[in-house]
Structure formats: C-alpha cells, structure tokens
C-alpha cells in the first residue's frame, strides 16, 4: 500500500519557535514576510529553505501569537503557461486561521509587478484551545436552518448593535429562542471563511452578501467573525447548550482568484499548476466547472490534505457538527470524471476526526457529468432538487404530478435506492439561498433581478413559481390570504417528507427579496431578514409542524416505505389509490396514512396527512372510526379546504 504524502500545515509551534511551512512545486523561492502589530509595515522578508519534497520552511524563534505574516513567491510569470509568480504580491497562507482585515478589490491585485503588501490581509498567528470532542448534536431526519450570518441578524431588534451581523449574534437569547420555537435541530451557516467580492461588483456599488467566493479555506472573515476562532467556538457551545447543532457551508470548488483576468491572492500565486485544474496539455487554460473562472484540483494530494485539515480544524477547535459542500462534484472529480470512490471523498468521511460528522453534498456543478444526485458515497446526505421541483410543480397545479409528489414524500427511492442502498440520503427543501424565497415563490411568475446590474440575465428562469393573480407585492387581501395559504401548504408538505429537512432563514415567516432570485450581491435590505415584517401566523404554523414531526417517530426514520403496513395512499372516498387515481392529470386530493409511534403517548398510532391542491373544497372520508384532527377543526368525513394540508390521528 502506497503511503500518501504528508504536506505542511502552515505555522506550527516547535521547541525552537514557530516553523512556517508552505508547499510549492513550481516556485523558485518563497519568502516569509513579517509585519508590525498593525499589519501595515513589513518588518522582515526572510527567504525560506526549500526541501526535496517541495516544502519551503523557516523557523522563527521570536514569532508568537498575534504575529502578522504572509508569503511572497518567486519564479516565472507566464500565465499563458500557468505560471503566476510575482514577488510583488503578498500571498495568504492557505493554512491561516485568522486574518487582520477583509479582502478588498484593487487593480494592483491583478497587475503584474504592482505591490500589494499594504492592502492585502495578513495572516494572524493564532493559538487555539482544542474543544472536547463530542458526538454531533444533529441526527438525520432533523431540521436544518440555512442562514447567512449578517443577513439573519443585521436587523434583529433585540440583538445589540455591536454584534449584529456577526457569528456572536447567533448566541443571543432572542435568536436562540426563535430557533427553539420553530424546532431547529441545526443551523447551517453560509460561508464564514474569508472571501472577496467578484470583481464586477464594486464598480456597480454592490458587494457579495453570501461569501461563496473564498480566498482562504480556513481563515475566518473578520466582518462576520471579528473574534476569530474563539468567537465561533463560543457560539457553537451556546447553540449546543440548546441542543442545536452547527453545520458550516464550505467552498472548496473554486477560489476568488477567478479566471485568467483575476487576482493573485493565495493559491494562484503560490502554485497555480498544482492548485487548479487545467485541460490536458493546456496549462494556461483554467477549467471552469464552477462558472466562477477556475476549478480547484481537489484530487491533488496537497489540496486533498488541505481540505481534510480544514474540516479537522473546525471540528477540533470549534466543535462543529458537520459540513455542507458547495458544488460538491468537484470534490470527487478526477481526470476521468466524477468518481464516488475518489480518494478525496473517501478521506473526508474516513478520517478519525471526521468519520461521524454530518456531510452534505450539493450534488451538481456545470462541468461534464456534473449532475450527480444520488451518486455520492452513502456517508453523504444530498440536496434534492428533484423533490424541490416536484413539490413546487404539484402545488402550482402542473398536470400528472401526484406520483412525483408521493415519491418526494417517501424519500425519493427512485434516486437514492440506486447502488443497492436501503435508506434515503435526501435533504428535502423548498427554497434555498439560491432562487426565490418561499413567499416570493407564490408571489412571482418571473425573476426580478434588475438591481443586480446584469439586466436581469442572471439567476434561474425555470422556478416553477406562481403569483396568485398579481405579480409582486400587493395589499389585496384575497391575494395575500391565498399566498399565506400556499406557504402553509408548502411548509406542511415539506415537514411530512421522509428525509432530512432544510428551511432557509425567514421562510418560516414569509420573508421576501422583492422577487430577486439571485440576491448574492445584495448586502442590504433586499437580502437582510426584516424581523418586523415576518408573519406570526406562519411562524406559529412552522412551530406546529416541527412539533408534529418530533412527536411522531416515522419522521426520524430513513428507510424507504415498503407499502406493507407502513404507509397507505387513499383517494378522497377512503379507498386505496388506483393506477387511474395516480395518473389523473388533474389529480387534486389524496391522503398519506402513516403507521407511527406516538412519542407523546408511547403508543402505536396512525397519522393521516390529507392534501388538497385544488381551489375547491373536497369531501374526504377516512376509513373506520376514531379519527381526530390535529391542528384543524374539521371532522370526519372531512371537508378538505382548498389549498390545504390537514392532519388526523387515530390510536
């Protein structure tokens, strides 16, 4: 068995001081640059020693916590050959955990020979106290709450102004109380590691609000986490104390150095040929499987170790429970294409620190063979856009969608039973940061991204959305009532689906982004959650659904339904659904009857979920006696309201 190479891990304390290390196969020399305490004045530039393993090393006996530093790389500058060496560029250590300022665009960052030491963030040498390792707080089948730290907390009236927009705000009692009320089992933090705006945004007066344009894979962005690793660790501990897990959304598929016109910030300047993927025989061309200008070579041993070490850092030093991976097929891509058995994916779920962490794949990118839903290793959960679209299409009224909805409710077995698997790996969601908010989904038939500065060309066009008779916001009480009913029905559908659930922050209360379905560049009131506008009726409904899901054990199971006593599908007359019922193009109403333990009573029971997407009341009969409503006032036989999901219990 071949032993994989072990590469350096940045700055580490030794008995002789601090050893600085960095890998570069193609640089002729790398310098360690030290700065004063303000990170403004370069105080030393020290050539590092290159070893036969292409690791550049230097031990500094006087470096201690708080030391500001960066690297400079010497060599040939020939981007047409994949070589970007420019010693005028200060470069971020890929293993840096904290930096002293955010990244900002400047023409010098991509102009050869232009000095960048004054404007580049400096790595801060930091010591971290490891946290006690504990099992993850989140169990499959639970509710994940996706949030952007700033957008979620910036306008909260009870959060002190000095911590609004930061990771620390998530530990505030008002935030914790809201999360507890709606039954959140884990928060998923959109990227909090250091990022840079896409270069076309500053001239438009816009900035990245989501963080999916990383420079450092480990370094926390000081705008979101000014207290560094300690702030993240303390917030994780506060959430854990309330039984809420923490998942980090990480981006390893590309860097903010972008395309051939982009900046020299870190990996590009250290060793572009190693860090990024290039077509065979074309080192000057950057593969763009991500749509962002470059693709990280995740199958290279150095990058593989950097990824795994990044994950280990957040578990060991902050106690996080799991990770979501943006454009995850890149992580499993080799020269031959996507491989679920790739060494990088295997290393992520077999590592002794990571083996029990929650791993979630966004299972698509725009590269060849980039749509891989259902094909990740069994240790990964996967975002399920098929279920998302089928739930949307059913409630929009698309013909012939009843069967597709039933598949989504049942854990999407046609997708996840491949490869001989017996359990669903689905993360079910109706909306995410990408696309419409849930309320906008029922308020707009088309996107409205004009404020993004791209003439409404950006963002998805096929949203499976509807507007209930008027495009955009309105005060018409009938339309408002119809939209609220639709949001309730959609939420109910999501919460009775088999799999892990994900809800995006604010969707529990009817948050709007004014029809913008690509608000990544709207770091303003468009993307910020307006807590004063959230609808208490919707929040209460979400809380009811979360409590219902926790009460009945059927929802924490991940095996596929067999149809042998665990689930029955009923037509409105109370008889089992026939082939003709399933295939009716205009199918309006049906029921899913589940056999389930009731954790409140400790007894076996039956839970009936009655669904009516039509615009008329439907008489519905449940077989036998003893049914009682939960959360509704309708008797049996039920007159099932239009555009509704209602619940009945027996046993």
pLDDT tops 70 at residue 3: no
**pLDDT, tens digit (0-9, with 9 covering 90-100), for 355-399:** 999 999 999 999 999 999 999 999 999 999 999 999 999 999 999
Averaged pLDDT, 67-88: 98
- pLDDT reported for residue 587: 82
Mean pLDDT along residues 618-633: 90
Q: Which residues are paired to 78 by β-bridges?
A: 83
Average pLDDT over residues 284-302: 97
Record the pTM: 0.97
Which CATH superfamily groups domain 567-650? Golgi alpha-mannosidase II (2.60.40.1180)
| Average pLDDT for 157-163 | 98
Tell me the pLDDT tens digit for each residue of 511-535. 999 999 999 999 999 999 999 999 9
For the 384-396+409-558 domain, the top CATH level (class) is alpha beta
pLDDT at 635 over 60: yes
Residue with tokens 């990771």: 167
Indicate if the pLDDT at residue 636 is higher than 80. no
CATH 3.20.20.80 residue window(s) in the chain: 384-396+409-558
- CATH number (2.60.40.10, 3.10.20.90, 3.30.930.10, 3.40.190.10) of 11-125 reads 2.60.40.10
Q: pLDDT tens digit string along 297-310?
A: 999 999 999 999 99
Average pLDDT of 468-485? 97
Question: How far is Cα 40 from Cα 122, in angstroms, rounded to an integer?
Answer: 9
State yes or no: pLDDT of 651 exceeds 90.
no
Q: From the CB of residue 297, how many other CB atoms can be counted at a distance below 10 Å?
A: 23
Query: Could you give the 3-state DSSP secondary structure of residue 491?
Result: helix
What is d(CA 628, CA 634) in angstroms, rounded to the nearest whole number?
9
Evaluate whether 57 touches 51 at the Cβ level (below 8 Å). yes
Cα gap 616→93, rounded to integer Å = 62
- Mean pLDDT in residue range 483-495: 98
How much is the mean pLDDT over the chain? 96
- Strands (E) in 141-203, as ranges, are 143-147, 186-189
Asked whether 255 and 266 are in contact (CB, 8 A), the reply is yes
Average pLDDT over residues 221-227: 98
**Span(s) in the chain for CATH 2.60.40.1180:** 567-650
Per-residue pLDDT, averaged over 616-624, amounts to 93
Q: pLDDT band for position 6 (50/70/90)? A: confident
Q: What is the mean pLDDT of residues 611-630?
A: 94
The CA dihedral of 210, 212, 215, 219, to the nearest 10 degrees, is 60
| pLDDT for 634 beyond 80 | no
Q: Using one digit for the tens of pLDDT, what is the confidence trace for 147-159? A: 999 999 999 999 9
- Bridge partners of 593, per DSSP, are 568, 608
Quickly state the pLDDT bin for 1 (edges 50, 70, 90). very low
How remote is the C-alpha of 59 from its chain's centroid? Answer: 38
Give per-residue pLDDT as tens, 101-139. 999 999 999 999 999 999 999 999 999 999 999 999 999
- Over the stretch 31-70, which tens digit does the pLDDT of each residue have? 999 999 999 999 999 999 999 899 999 999 999 999 999 9
**Res. 4: pLDDT tops 60:** no
Could you tell me where in the chain the CATH 2.60.40.10 domains are found? 11-125
Catalytic residues: 326, 362
Predicted confidence at residue 628, as pLDDT, reads 92
């Amino acid at each position: 068995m071949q032993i994989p190479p072990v590469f350096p891990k940045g700055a580490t304390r030794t008995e002789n001081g601090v050893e600085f290390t960095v890998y570069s196969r193609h640089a002729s020399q790398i310098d360690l640059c030290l700065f004063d305490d303000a990170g403004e004045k370069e105080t030393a530039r020290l050539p590092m020693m290159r070893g036969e393993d292409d690791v550049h090393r230097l031990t500094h006996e006087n470096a201690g916590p708080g030391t500001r530093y960066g690297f400079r790389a010497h060599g040939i500058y020939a981007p047409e050959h994949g070589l970007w060496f420019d010693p005028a560029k200060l470069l971020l250590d890929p293993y840096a955990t904290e930096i002293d300022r955010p990244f900002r665009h400047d023409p010098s960052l991509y102009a050869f020979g232009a000095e960048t030491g004054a404007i580049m963030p400096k790595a801060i040498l930091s010591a971290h106290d490891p946290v006690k390792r504990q099992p993850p707080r989140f169990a499959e089948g639970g509710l994940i709450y996706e949030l952007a730290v700033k957008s979620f907390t910036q306008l909260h009236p009870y959060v002190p102004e000095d911590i609004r927009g930061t990771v620390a705000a998530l530990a505030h009692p008002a935030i914790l109380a809201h999360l507890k009320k709606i039954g959140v089992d884990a928060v998923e933090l959109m990227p909090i590691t250091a990022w840079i705006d896409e270069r076309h945004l500053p001239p438009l007066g816009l900035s990245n609000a989501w963080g999916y344009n990383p420079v450092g894979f480990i370094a926390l962005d000081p705008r979101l986490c000014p207290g560094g690793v300690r702030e993240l660790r303390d917030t994780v501990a506060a959430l854990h104390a309330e039984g809420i897990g923490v998942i980090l959304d990480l981006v390893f598929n590309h860097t903010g150095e972008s395309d051939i016109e982009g900046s020299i910030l870190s990996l590009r300047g250290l060793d572009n040929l190693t860090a990024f993927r290039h077509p065979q025989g074309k080192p000057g061309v950057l593969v763009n499987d991500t749509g962002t200008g470059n693709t990280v070579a995740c199958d290279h041993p150095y990058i593989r170790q950097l990824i795994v070490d990044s994950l280990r850092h957040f578990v060991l030093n902050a106690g996080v429970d799991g990770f979501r991976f943006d454009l995850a097929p890149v992580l499993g891509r080799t020269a031959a294409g996507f491989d679920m058995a790739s060494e990088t994916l295997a290393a992520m779920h077999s590592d002794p620190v990571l083996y029990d962490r929650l791993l979630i794949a966004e299972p698509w990118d725009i590269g060849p063979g980039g749509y891989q839903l259902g094909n990740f290793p069994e240790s990964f959960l996967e975002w399920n856009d098929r279920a998302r679209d089928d739930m949307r299409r059913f409630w929009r009224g698309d013909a012939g969608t009843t069967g597709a909805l039933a598949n989504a409710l049942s854990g999407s077995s046609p997708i996840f039973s491949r490869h001989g698997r017996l359990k669903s790996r689905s993360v079910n969601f109706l909306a995410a940061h990408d696309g419409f908010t849930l309320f906008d989904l029922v308020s707009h038939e088309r996107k409205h991204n004009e404020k993004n500065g791209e003439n409404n060309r950006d963002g998805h066009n096929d949203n499976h959305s509807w507007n209930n008779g008027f495009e955009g916001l309105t005060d018409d009480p009938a339309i408002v009532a119809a939209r609220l009913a639709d949001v309730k029905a959609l939420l109910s559908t999501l919460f009775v689906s088999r799999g892990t659930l994900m809800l995006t922050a604010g969707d529990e209360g009817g948050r709007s982004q004014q029809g913008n379905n690509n608000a990544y560049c709207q770091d303003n009131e468009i993307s910020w959650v307006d807590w004063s506008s959230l609808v208490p009726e919707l929040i209460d409904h979400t809380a009811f659904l979360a409590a219902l899901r926790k009460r009945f054990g059927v929802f924490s199971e991940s095996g596929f339904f067999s149809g042998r006593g665990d689930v029955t599908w009923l037509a409105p007359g109370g008889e089992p659904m026939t082939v003709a019922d399933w295939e009716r193009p205009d199918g309006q109403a049906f029921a899913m009857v589940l056999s389930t333990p009731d954790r409140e009573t400790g007894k076996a029971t039956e839970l009936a979920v009655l669904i009516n997407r039509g615009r008329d009341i439907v008489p519905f009969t449940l077989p036998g006696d003893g049914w009682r409503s939960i959360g509704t006032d309708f008797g049996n036989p039920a007159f099932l309201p239009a555009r509704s999901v209602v619940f009945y219990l027996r046993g």
